[in-house]
Amino acid sequence: MTQYIPGIIPFGSDDETIIKSCSLKSAAIVSAASGVEIGSPTYDSELGVLVGTDGGIRFDLSALGYSALDNGGQFSIEVESVWISSQSSSDGAGGYDHTTNEYLISHGDGNPPTNAGRHRMNLSEQFIAQMKTTDAQTANTHTSLGKSRFCTVTISWIGNTMSIYVDGIISQISTFTQYADMFKFVWLGDYAGGSNGSILNHYIRNFHISTRPVMIPKHRKLTPLAFFGDSFVSVGERYQGGVLAAATPYHDHTFENIVVAYLRNRGIGCEALNHGNSGSSVNDSSGDALETGRATMLADRPYSVLFQAGTNDANDASVHANFDTDLKDHMTTILASIPGKIYVGTVPTLKANSTYDSQTYVDNKNEVNTFIKALPAWWDTNNPSDTGRIVVVDIDAAFGAEYPQDNIFNGQVSGALDDLHPSAKGNIIRAELFAQKILSDLEQ
């Protein structure tokens, strides 16, 4: 019995909309899938195929309902993570130095094609996806941090709108020019069978293509989910409006984006609203931006709220006497206005900024977190008929408290110890913790 998989289809699925699937792990497997070798590819039973110079794998989809792909569909293929990643000595991104354009996949209306699409890495280590080669190019940068050896690149389209996902994390939404027979032929690791553009030194594997776009219904309890707090959830840590916020260098490590992707990869859609306020504090004795921004956030009528703030309270000379009162005021006001829950993150160590590497700030952070951790019991005690609405997510413990894991913070990976914001690795850890808590509640 075939099944219908919501969202991004995992390799190996028997989803009835898949029209071609191949692991690419041996010549025999490629041949059995009616694939044609170009050049002299080499194979590994686990890693897949290394197409090499002027190499590739071609599939003719003429007899497989390829014309349905003109209206919508998705394809996924795994590639070694370093191939799609940027190089950066300042933040530890371990990419590959591309000396020529290398094509992950191309497709078109003939062999050779009159019209073609191509999806490749350029010489600046940027991934460029074009459903038609004459369309404008949008360059996306990615990081190897937090990834396993292979990552999954998925491109979905419906009508004239295309979306790019890397390990389920969206990095681009754009429009393209439609044309007939876009996927009559497909080339993997190569540009339309040409004499250049092959992936030279990295393996690809586990390709499939489906006539169903990535379309995930939004869960009613996540429509919307507001991200509210300080710079740990603000513009510099999020994806917005089809392009990445300029303050963030990579398209696949932003906090908000990873939370959404974690849920998406489990078939759960989420409408994320960002209401982060950089530099804001929980203490609102001076009309702080967090307090003044709360009304704007609540006006968007979120179902639930992800709350992370307190770092700017802990990095003061001492924690303000009103911190606990103001924190509870946020909880009370928000919960009176939403039907769902508040997911509150603890404050991680401040040591990634050398300015705050002293016992004073350790004590401040611990004091702030003591107040945060006490919130669920405080709420339940005072609201016995409305319990369980505050969930604490212990980011501090997950990062390693005062002995944090390597490369959790930007200050660690740069070596300058001047930035206490989470790195790509840190964002992945805390985003998945929040998402796991949210998912657990959805399953109840």
Pair of tokens at residue 270: 């989420």
Residues 6+ apart with CB under 8 A from 178: 70, 131, 132, 159, 160
Predicted local distance difference test score (pLDDT) of residue 250: 52
Backbone conformation region of residue 287, classed left if phi is above 0, alpha if psi is from -120 to 50, else beta: left
Residues 6+ apart with CB under 8 A from 7: 214, 215, 216, 264, 265, 267, 269
Pair of tokens at residue 414: 């740069």
Using one digit for the tens of pLDDT, what is the confidence trace for 128-176?
999 999 999 888 888 777 788 999 999 999 999 999 999 888 878 889 9
Query: What type of residue is 164?
Result: I
What CA–CA distance (Å, rounded) separates 252 from 61?
Answer: 31
| Domains within the chain, CATH numbers bracketed | 18-210 (2.60.120.200), 220-442 (3.40.50.1110)
Q: What is the mean pLDDT of residues 192-219?
A: 90
Predicted local distance difference test score (pLDDT) of residue 433: 97
Read off the pLDDT band of 238 (50, 70, 90): very low
Predicted local distance difference test score (pLDDT) of residue 141: 83
What CA–CA distance (Å, rounded) separates 431 from 444?
Answer: 20
Predicted local distance difference test score (pLDDT) of residue 237: 52
Residue 62 has pLDDT above 60, yes or no: yes
Query: What secondary structure does DSSP assign to 54-99, as a single string?
Result: T-EEEEE-TTTTGGGGGTEEEEEEEEEGGGGPPB-TTT--B----S
Predicted local distance difference test score (pLDDT) of residue 96: 85
What CA–CA distance (Å, rounded) separates 299 from 285?
Answer: 23
What CA–CA distance (Å, rounded) separates 139 from 127?
Answer: 6
Using one digit for the tens of pLDDT, what is the confidence trace for 260-272?
888 888 888 889 9
Closest by CA position to 13, among listed 80, 79, 104, 76: 76
Give Cα 148 distance to the centre of its chain.
Answer: 14
Pair of tokens at residue 95: 């990419």
Predicted local distance difference test score (pLDDT) of residue 65: 83
Predicted local distance difference test score (pLDDT) of residue 246: 37
What CA–CA distance (Å, rounded) separates 271 from 313?
Answer: 29
> Cα angle at 433 between 431 and 437, to 5 degrees?
115
* Contact (CB, 8 A) for 233 and 256: yes
pLDDT above 70: percentage of residues in the chain:
92
Question: Which secondary structure element, helix H or strand E, spans residue 223, and what is its range?
Answer: none
Closest by CA position to 146, among listed 202, 93, 96: 93
What CA–CA distance (Å, rounded) separates 61 from 170?
Answer: 27
**Average pLDDT of the chain, as a whole number:** 89
Give Cα 267 distance to the centre of its chain.
Answer: 15
